[in-house]
Structure 1
Amino acid sequence: MLPEYKEYERGVATWLNASLGPVVYRYLSTLEKELSGNSLQIMQSSGETIAAAKASRTAVNLLLSGPAGGLTALHALGLQTGTSRFISFDMGGTSTDVALLDGAPVTTNEGTIAELPVGVPMVDMHTIGAGGGSIAALDTGGMLQVGPRSAGAVPGPVCYGQGGTQVTVTDAHVVLGRIDPSSTLAGGLTLDSAAALEALERLGAAMGVDAKTAAEGVLAVANEQIAAAIRLISVNRGYNPQDFTLTSFGGAGGLHVCALAEAMNMTRALVPIHGGVLSALGMIVAQPGRQLSRTATALLSDLTDAEIENGLAELEAQGRAELTAEGAQGPLAAKSSVDLRYKGQSYTLNVPWHSRAQAKQAFVALHRQRFGYDHDTELELVNLRSAVTAQGVELVLPRADSENTNRSTKSAANRVHSTHPASLAATYGSGAYPSIRREALDEHEREGPLVIIELAATTFVAPGWCAKRDAIGNIELRKR
């Protein structure tokens, strides 16, 4: 499963694959029968797809397939918008996945899942237990905690009216007027704002504050947890967040994007079109591919360029053969890289392969960026890697031409109304945020505070921020 050194990681990968394989095989076999006559591709954690028959034998490579889909779609959107550097966070009901894209999604072979080191290729992200359904409660010391426990979909947040009693992040948004309780959600679900208010009042009483202050505290704690994760994948690795565009997706991401941008001193953000289902979009446009590796430990100076290239060529040939056998169409592309380290180190850094001299130069620069220093020490080659990809589906989104938007629909969507029901407005004053449908946005900036509503997500434009729609329907946010 993992032809690399480090026996523990190899053992974990083998154990996970043996555990998941039979379950994945049964599911995919049934699915293929239902889709008789159609080719079924499965998303991998690395951001490429693999034939279903092969996927069931390498189930360990599917663990982060959902988040990988979102990053793949974001990369494709970036190619259309001319933006290549993103810090993204995918916020759903239970957790938030944070990642950095510097031209393309970054992959790693040192990821962890449930504190287990999993050495297979996967998108490089950091996951925390803070999502829309994360439970907010006081710990034994009286400190407010948000997550990692979640209310899940059932019973879900208190405002779902399905028997939930514990305050969640979503309940805090409802009480603060950032989610319109009068709207009908997907599946016909209506929100019980009065129940959410009552739950926040109970939490506030335990904290010695009112419900509004308690709700603000819940969001502040959740936002700081996500901001800490963003610092981990950016600042701690030598990147300046201000050089990137903060991007949110997932159903809950747009509610937090402005607050997180401010926490990171970022002045621009993007909420992609179809952000609530961006991972699904990414799976559609992902390229079929293989990421292959093998250990080849030796001092870099003891090898020739030709010896290294021969090993890389063998991996590339294997990848090309597997993709061809799956019926990959069009030309195949391959990228070679190597894992290097200073002699005596236990960790490695991956750099592109062109020659030993260029690999050494790239390693020294990356080590200095990541750790702030470099050594005058010999380099060791540890692993050879080859990524082979076929052509995927090109993402071409139609231009969001405001002149072609149905005028009556746009007019109705553009009406401003309060996002607070009367019971909350009586408690906190008018509480009115301008609230519009996403399709009503155009190329002209609208100033916050503003709530932008769509079927699969909600975006809160905070005071001091402006929002507009770009040519393909993304929401562009700018701090004034």
Structure 2
Amino acid sequence: MTRRAGIGGRRLRIGIDTGGTFTDVVALDEDTGEIVTTKTRSTPADPAEGFEAGVRKALELLGASRTDVTALAHGTTVATNQLLEDRLEDLGFVTTEGFEFVLEIARQSVPDGYGNSYFWVKPPRIVPVHRVRTVGGRMDHTGTEIRPFDEASAVAAARWFREHGIRAIGVCFLHSYADPAHELRMREVLLREHPEAVVSLSCEVLREYREYERSVTTLVDAAVKPTMARYLRRIAGGRLRVMKSNGGVLSAEEVVRQPITTVLSGPAAGALGAAFVTRAAGRGSVITLDGGGTSTDVAVVLDCEPTLTTEGTIGRHPVKIPMIDIVTVGAGGGSVAWLSPEGTMKVGPRSAGADPGPRCYGQGGTEVTVTDAHAVLGRIPPHLLGGEIPLDVDAARDGVEALAAKLGMTAERAATGILEISAWNQANAIRQITVKRGLDVRDYPLVAFGGSGPLLACRLLDLLGLPAAVIPVNPGNLSAFGLLTVDVKNDYVRTRVERDAELDLDALGAVWSELQREAAVALEREGFPPSDHRFARSADLRYHGQAFEVRVPAPDGPCDDAFRAEVVRRFHDAHENLYGYCYRDDPGRHPVEWVNLRVSGIGPITRPVLRERPPGGDSEPAGVRRVFYDEWTEAPIYQRERLAPGTVVAGPAVIEEFGSTLPLHPGFQARVDGHGNLVVTR
């Protein structure tokens, strides 16, 4: 897509990722290729303040003004945090008459397996049953109308919501994925009878079967829509795009229409940034670990693309939208160390956040955190962000010593224990994203980034047997950098359940053409001419009798017998890779079934260029500091920006930079590659 210069004459693109503790900013001058990175403290009470402060800081560093900005890309946790904190009051639900208990029935699945089923209590529904209204009318699974839409009951439902002050409403009628006519009429009634209502329709949020998941996904969209609209109004200019969970971005105007697509906004940007950096370094498949102040997000990149899922959850809510497959664990720098009633030490998932933060921040924090443990052991400098945030190491030590006294151990052992527990929490998240999905964790290098991501990299290599860890340039800002590498992307889905042997290829092609037209309209709204449109087709298939599907990419071209055979071959291969078996040679007893058809509309952007760096430079340490690994030692301290390609640093040592730190344990070494990445090996 061709970019115009800003009003000020320059062409600047800015990526801004708002985390729980810091707001990360990366600015790119598209004409010179200059990249500037910086951070500001997040402002959880009003995230827009941290956003604006980050933009101002980046522009000051570049000597530029807001008129020079041609594009802003934003990764936000506003929707995610609202769901995690269950701030979903005043939400209403409209569904088909006779199905008012669809949320109460839910699914029979029990978290953590049946071993805990005796003690598990089903959590409260996203909408209590007294705020559910039903409307007469019925479609069957083919979209044929069985009973007509009952406008009288629709009007009664709308007036009931208006009288009770319920303004966020989700609508999910049975089989509306096949024909949305009744849902569209329900919206007309709601907007006529209750003009203040914010309405989400399942046919627009998730046009896919499975009523329970479709209902919850639609309600989550309705719940976050008012919050996201207010937030984006505060920060939006005409050039703002917001990161989506699926690995694409959308304009702020489009996001207000479908806010649920942003629920994993920040973590998705980090995984894409890691994929972009490692692709340039010649590594196609890696594990990504994004360590922040509140949590750590883990994903897998296969053949330069992060893996996707539609079986995600945010908090306790199943959200069935395309999203990068990410596992999140409460093991960030601000994770609090605490004692259980049994007297054992635990770390997280509760976090001290940005305010008051860890004890060493000197902002009134009283609880010991992972960052405090690093400070006590000398593994991070006595200041953050190049000196902008001085650390009160004495306050951290006092807290760790008090905790150690309760456990009857030294402060060093207690601090090391905090870090060990945090490392195991991260290792378990990595196992969940790899071993549980049939991948051998030992085959994949780890890309560690985020402010706290590199801090435990050496220990994770030991715990998991990983071949190497890659620390990108400016790891603390990689998520913000990833926002500058992301295409505009929108996903469309249609359920069409049909046996492969009975497949109507003409009807299949017609559905894909309709989805592609919808995607093209959205891309045109985003400003992309038809010549720039790209489309990616995929299909969800399964063996007849299975409950869940496997998604495979579908080739371009006409929907003929060769096309059908190729998609089915890909399904057999994918099923065998995932589960270790397939039935390609037994189609009679195990016929293949097509379930969902999908199209992604993609509008490509101009990406930054990662240039190789020349060898040579100062590889001497900038000083020494007492650091505790297995014992106290005078460890050399290196400034990363002074390390040139080819330099090898042997542990014990510490490599510091503006947004992050790498403690290099004894027995490990870090080599600087041609792009400036640190490659850590035993």
Normalised by the size of structure 2, how large is the TM-score?
0.65
Report the CA distance shift for 1:296/1:186 in structure 2 as closer, same or farther (over 3 A). farther
Find 1:12's aligned residue among 202, 212, 216.
216
1:467 correspondence with 2:467: no
Partner residue of 1:456 out of 632, 654, 659: 659
Q: What residue in structure 2 maps to residue 98 of structure 1? A: 298
Q: Distance in 2 between matches of 1:349 and 1:184?
A: 45
CA distance in 1, matches of 2:469, 2:491: 32
Spell out, residue by residue over 1:83-106, the C-alpha distance to the aligned partner (whole angstroms, 9 max, x if none).
Answer: 111101111011111100002011
CA shift digits 1:113-150 (9 cap, x unpaired): 00211011111111111111001111111222110111
Could you say which residue in structure 2 is the equivalent of 1:414? 621
Relative to structure 2, which stretch is displaced further, 338-347 or 129-138? 338-347
Which one of 230, 233, 240 corresponds to residue 430 of structure 2?
230
Query: Match of 1:73, SS?
Result: helix
Residue 196 of structure 1: how far off its partner (Å): 1.4
- Among residues 243, 254, 265, which one is paired with 1:43 in the alignment? 243
In the alignment, structure 1 residue 366 sits paired with structure 2 residue 366:
no
Could you say what secondary structure the match of 2:576 adopts?
Answer: helix
Check whether the contact 2:621–2:636 (CA below 8 A) recurs between aligned residues: no
Partners of 1:352 and 1:309 in 2: how far apart? 15
Which of the numbers 273, 277, 287 marks the counterpart of 2:477?
A: 277
Following TM superposition, by how much is the alpha carbon of 1:306 offset from its aligned partner in structure 2, in angstroms? 4.3
Q: Name the residue aligned to 1:439.
A: 641
Q: Which amino acid aligns with 1:12?
A: V
Q: Is the 8 A contact 1:177 1:433 kept in 2?
A: no
Which one of the candidate residues 493, 505, 508 is aligned to 1:293?
493
For structure 1, the 5+ residue unaligned runs are: none
Answer yes or no: is the 8 Å Cα contact 2:444–2:467 preserved in 1.
no
Aligned 8 A contact 2:384 2:658 in 1: no
The superposition leaves residues 294-317 of structure 1 with CA deviations (integer Å, 9 ceiling, x where unpaired) of 111111221044443332222122
State the alpha-carbon separation in 1 of the partners of residues 545 and 480 from structure 2.
Answer: 43
Counterparts of 2:233 and 2:354, CA distance in 1: 28
Shift of 1:244: 1.4
Q: Which amino acid aligns with 1:358?
A: E
Match of 2:254 in 1: 54
- The RMSD of aligned alpha carbons is 2.1
> Are residues 142 and 429 of structure 1, via their aligned partners in 2, closer, same or farther at CA, if it must alter by over 3 Å?
closer
Distance in 1, Cα, partners of 2:232 & 2:355: 26
Q: How does 1:334-413 map to 2 (within 5 A)?
A: 334-354=535-555, 355-375=563-583, 376=586, 377-403=590-616, 410=618
Match of 2:324 in 1: 123
- SS class of match (1:205): helix
The answer to whether the Cα contact below 8 Å between 1:177 and 1:431 also exists between their aligned partners in 2 is: no
Q: CA 1:310 to 1:464, structure 2 compared with 1: closer, same or farther past 3 Å? A: farther
One-letter amino acid of the structure 1 residue matched with residue 566 of structure 2: Q
Amino acid at match of 1:468: R
1:408-427 C-alpha deviation (Å, 9 max, x unpaired): xx57x83231155xxx99xx
Q: Quick one: distance in 2 between partners of 1:306 and 1:61?
A: 31
In structure 2, what is the Cα distance between the partners aligned to 1:5 and 1:468?
50
Alpha-carbon separation, structure 1, partners of 2:385 and 2:525:
44
Q: CA deviation at 1:429?
A: 7.2
Structure with the larger RCO, 1 or 2 (CA within 8 Å, 6+ apart): 1
What does residue 169 of structure 1 align with? 370
Q: Secondary structure at the match of 1:256?
A: helix
Q: How does 1:76-115 map to 2 (within 5 A)?
A: 76-103=276-303, 104-115=305-316
Q: Between Structure 1 and Structure 2, how many residues are aligned?
A: 463
Secondary structure of 1:310 counterpart: helix
- Describe how 1:193-272 pairs up with structure 2 within 5 A: 193-272=393-472
Structure of higher CA gyration radius: 2
Are the aligned partners of 1:400 and 1:472 in contact in 2 as well (CA < 8 Å)?
Answer: yes
The answer to whether the Cα contact below 8 Å between 1:236 and 1:370 also exists between their aligned partners in 2 is no
Among 264, 269, 272, the alignment partner of 1:72 is 272
- Contact residue 484 and residue 607 of structure 2 kept, 8 A: no
Deviations 1:53-112 (A, max 9, x none): 111110000111111111121222123211111101111011111100002011111111
> How far off is 1:430 after superposition?
4.9
- Of residues 324-333 and 227-236 in structure 1, the stretch that sits farther from structure 2 once superposed is 324-333
Instruction: Please tell me whether the aligned partners of residues 151 and 164 of structure 1 are also in contact (alpha carbons under 8 angstroms).
Output: yes
Preserved CA contact (<8 Å) 1:161 1:191: yes
Q: Which residue of 2 aligns with 1:179?
A: 380
Letter paired with 2:437: R
Separation of aligned partners in 1, 2:318 and 2:569: 29
**Counterpart code for 2:234:** T
Shift of 1:472: 2.0
Q: Which moved more, 1:231-240 or 1:371-380?
A: 371-380
* Match of residue 26 from structure 1: 230
Q: Which amino acid aligns with 2:513?
A: A
Q: Distance in 1 between matches of 2:650 and 2:420?
A: 22
Q: 1:192 aligns with which of 381, 385, 392?
A: 392
Cα distance in 2 between the residues matched to 1:187 and 1:384? 53
Matched-pair contact (CA < 8 Å) for 1:343–1:379: yes
* Matching residue of 1:3: 207
* DSSP-derived class of the 1:239 partner: coil
3-state SS of the aligned residue for 2:662? strand
User: 1:26: how far off?
Assistant: 2.5
Q: Distance in 1 between matches of 2:239 and 2:399?
A: 49
8 Å contact 1:298–1:380 — kept in the other structure? Answer: yes
CA distance in structure 2 between the partners assigned to 1:272 and 1:261 by the alignment = 17
Deviation at 1:363, TM superposition (A): 2.4
Is the CA contact 2:309–2:323 (under 8 Å) kept in the aligned structure 1? yes
The answer on whether the counterparts of 1:419 and 1:435 sit within 8 Å (CA) in structure 2 is: no
- AA aligned to 1:341 is R
Please say if residues 625 and 634 of structure 2, whose CA atoms lie closer than 8 Å, have aligned partners that are also in contact: yes
CA distance in 1, matches of 2:297, 2:605: 24
What per-residue deviation string (whole Å, max 9, x for no partner) do you get for residues 434-475 of structure 1?
A: 111111222121111221111111112222211122222211
Question: Which region of structure 1 is more displaced relative to structure 2, 120-129 or 342-351?
Answer: 342-351
Partner of 1:155: 356
* d(CA) in 2 for partners of 1:281, 1:430: 36
Question: Structure 1 residues 446, 186: closer, same or farther in 2, change over 3 A?
Answer: closer
Task: Indicate conservation of the 8 Å contact 1:297/1:381, yes or no.
Answer: yes
Structure 2, gaps ≥5 residues long? 1-204, 556-562
Give SS of 1:392's match.
coil
2:634 aligns to what SS in structure 1? coil
C-alpha separation in 2, matches of 1:242 and 1:195: 39
- C-alpha distance in 2 between matches for 1:47 and 1:386: 14
Report deviation, 1:219.
1.1
Secondary structure in structure 1 of the residue aligned to 2:519 = helix
